[in-house]
Amino acid sequence: TLGLRHQDIKPENIFLARFGGRLHPVLLDLGVAAEKDSTFVAGTALYAAPEQLTAILGLDKETPLSEKMDTYCIGATLLLALVGDKLFPGSKALTRRQVIESHAVRSTKPLADDALLDVSENIRTELDKRLAKWMSLEPVDRPNMSQVAEELEILLEPEREAERAEENARNRQKRALARARVAASIVLLIGIGVGALALWKRETLRLAGELEEARAQGAENFEELDTCVAAHAVTSKEMKTCKTDLADEQTEHEKTLNALSKQGEGCSEAVDQMKDLRTKMQAEKKKHDDELKAQDKECTTEKDKLTTDLGGERDKFKTERDTCESSLKEKETEMTTLRQERDTCVASNGSGTNAGNTNASATSTSDPYADPPPSATVVPSAPPSGAPSTAPLPPPTTPPTTTPPPPPPPAPPPPAPAPTAGQTAPGSQSSDATPGSTPPSMQQPLTD
C-alpha cells in the first residue's frame, strides 16, 4: 500500500514483539527499501528472487523489478521456518549454479518428502502448491502481497483439522451413546421377556446396575460435551476480545514506531555532533602537539646555544685568570727586585755620604720615611723622575766658631712597607734609575 519494496525479507529481519500477552511479527530493517518502480536493488542471496539476484549480480540490467520480489522472499522465509535449515533448498549452496538449482526446486516441490510428517497429506499438498506458487521463477506467476496475505490461511489448516477431528470424535461419541442406550433398552426388554418371574428381581437389579453405569457414563459424556461447548463459547468470546486488543495494540505499535523513528533521528544528530566535536578536539590536540614540539625544539636549540656560549665564556675567563695569575707572579718578582735595588741604593747612599763629606756630619740628613719634627721645616716630596726640583733652599746658617766633633753615623732608615702591585714605594727610584744613584728626595743641600 505504501508503494515500496522491502527487498530483504528474511528471518533475521522479522522481530516477534509481545503485546498484550501475544506475539506479533514486526518487519524490521528498511535500510535497503526502495520504491516499487525504482532501479535500486539489494537483498540476501539465500532468500532473493531470481530476477533480484540477476540484477544484483549485474547479469541483466534490463530485468524488470517489482514488489513481487518481496512475495518470493516471504515464501522463502516461511519455508525455512516450516522445514528448518536442513530441509531448506539452497541452504548449502556455494555456487551460482547450485543457487539456480535451488530456485528450480522451490518453484516445483519446495516441501521435501520427510518434511511436516505430522500434518495430513491434503494439507501438505495444498501448502506445497501455494509455496511453489509464491516462489515461482517468473514474477507474473506470483501473487501480490495482498493475495499472499489471504492465502496465508493455509497455515491455520492444521489447527482447523484438529478442530474437525475433535468435532468428529464428539459426534462418534454421541452415536455410540445412542447405540448404548438402544442396546440397553433391547437387553432390558429381552431380559423382561425371557427372565420370567423367578429371575425378575435379580434381573431387575442387574439391569438397574447396568443402567446406572450407563447413566453415569452418559452423564460423564454429556459433561464433557457441555465443557467443550462452554470452552468453544469462551474461545469465541476471547477471539472477539483479542481482535479488539489487536486493533488497539496495532495503534499503540504505530505510535511506538513513530516515537522510535524520532528518537533515531535525534540520535543521528547527536552522533554527528559527537563526530564533529571529536574531529575538532583531534585538530586542537594536533595543533597543541605541534606547538609543544616546536617550543621543545626551540628550547633545546636555545639550551645548546647557551651551553656553547657559557663554555666559551668559561674558557675565556679561565684564560684571563691564568694571564692575571702569570702577570701577578711577574709583578711580585719585579717588586722583589725593586725592594732589593732600593735597599742597595739606600746602603750605597749612606756609605758615600760619610766618606766624602766629613763636614756634613754637623747637619743630619732627614729620613725621607720619618715624619719631620714640629719645629723643622717640612721638605716637600721629590718631583717625579726627570722633573726639576721646585723645593726652596733653606736659608744659610752661620757656622760656629769651633768645629764640633763629628756625630756618629746615622742609623739606617726603617724598612718601608711593601708596596702593592703597580705602585712605587716611597723613596724608591723609578724603574729607569740606575743602581747606586741617590733618589731626588734624599738630595739635601749642604751648609757652608
Average pLDDT over residues 101-108: 90
Is 12 within the bounds of a domain? yes
Average pLDDT score over the chain: 76
Q: Are residues 216 and 114 in the same domain?
A: no
Does the pLDDT of residue 403 top 70, yes or no? no
Residue 379 has pLDDT above 50, yes or no: no
Domain for residue 99, yes or no? yes
Task: Kindly state whether residue 381 falls inside one of the protein's structural domains.
Answer: no
Shared domain check, 105 and 46 = yes
| Residue 184 and residue 211 in one domain | yes
- Residue 152 forms part of a structural domain: yes
Nearest to 446 by CA among 375, 369, 361: 361
Q: Are residues 249 and 196 in the same domain?
A: yes
Dist CA 294 CA 269 (whole Å): 37
What average pLDDT does this structure show over 47-68? 83
131 and 234 in a single domain? The answer is no
Q: Is residue 197 part of a domain?
A: yes
Among candidate residues 13, 30, 16, the one with its CA nearest the CA of residue 264 = 30
Tell me the C-alpha distance between 383 and 381, whole Å.
6
From the list 141, 68, 85, the residue with the least C-alpha distance to 108 is: 141
User: How far apart, in whole angstroms, are the C-alpha atoms of residue 366 and residue 310?
Assistant: 59
Residue with cell 583531534: 282
Phi, psi of 17 (to 5 degrees): -95, 145
Whose CA is closest to 332, among 427, 421, 423?
Answer: 421
Q: Which is nearest to 412 in space by CA: 333, 337, 351, 340?
A: 351
Q: What is the pLDDT of residue 326?
A: 92
The model's pLDDT over 162-185, given as tens digits with 9 standing for 90+, comes to 777 777 777 777 777 777 777 777
> In this predicted structure, what is the pLDDT of residue 337?
94
3-class secondary structure per residue, the chain: CCCEECCCCCHHHEEEEEECCEEEEEECCCCCCEECCCCCCCCCCCCCCHHHHHHHHCCCCCCCCCCHHHHHHHHHHHHHHHHCCCCCCCCCCCCHHHHHHHHHHHHHCCCCCCCCCCCCHHHHHHHHHHHHHHCCCCHHHCCCHHHHHHHHHHHHHHHHHHHHHHHHHHHHHHHHHHHHHHHHHHHHHHHHHHHCCCCHHHHHHHHHHHHHHHHHHHHHHHHHHHHHHHHHHHHHHHHHHHHHHHHHHHHHHHHHHHHHHHHHHHHHHHHHHHHHHHHHHHHHHHHHHHHHHHHHHHHHHHHHHHHHHHHHHHHHHHHHHHHHHHHHHHHHHHHHHHHHHHHHHHHHHHHHHHHHCCHHHCCCCCCCCCCCCCCCCCCCCCCCCCCCCCCCCCCCCCCCCCCCCCCCCCCCCCCCCCCCCCCCCCCCCCCCCCCCCCCHHHCCCCCC
Overall pTM surpassing 0.85 (yes/no): no
What is residue 149's predicted lDDT score, i.e. its pLDDT?
A: 83
- The domain boundary residue, chosen from 264, 287, 310: 287
What is the per-residue pLDDT for 65? 84
Name 191's Cβ contacts closer than 8 Å, sequence gap at least 6.
199, 203, 206, 207
Q: Domain containing 128: what range? A: 4-157
* pLDDT of residue 440 exceeding 50: no
Placement of cell 520427510 in the chain? 114
Per the document, the length of the chain is 448
Instruction: Count CA atoms within 13 Å of residue 207 on its CB side.
Output: 18
Cα gap 41→33, rounded to integer Å: 8
| 383 in a structural domain | no
Asked if 361 contacts 406 with a C-beta cutoff of 8 angstroms, the reply is yes
Number of structural domains, the chain? 2
Do 129 and 186 lie in one domain? The reply is: no
Predicted local confidence at residue 340, as pLDDT? 93
- Last residue of a domain, which of 134, 157, 180? 157
Q: Tell me: do 207 and 98 sit in the same domain.
A: no
Domain boundary among 108, 138, 157: 157
Please indicate, yes or no, if residue 266 is contained in any of the structural domains.
yes
pLDDT at position 442: 42
CATH number at residue 42: 1.10.510.10
Instruction: Give 251-261 pLDDT, tens digit per residue.
Output: 888 888 888 77
The CA distance from 338 to 429, in Å, is: 9
Residues 87 and 184 in one domain: no
- pLDDT above 70: residue 96: yes
Q: Do residues 220 and 256 share a domain?
A: yes
Evaluate whether residue 326 is within a structural domain.
no
- What pLDDT score was predicted for residue 361? 43
Residues 147 and 215 in one domain: no
Question: Are 190 and 124 within one domain?
Answer: no
| 20 shares its domain with 99 | yes
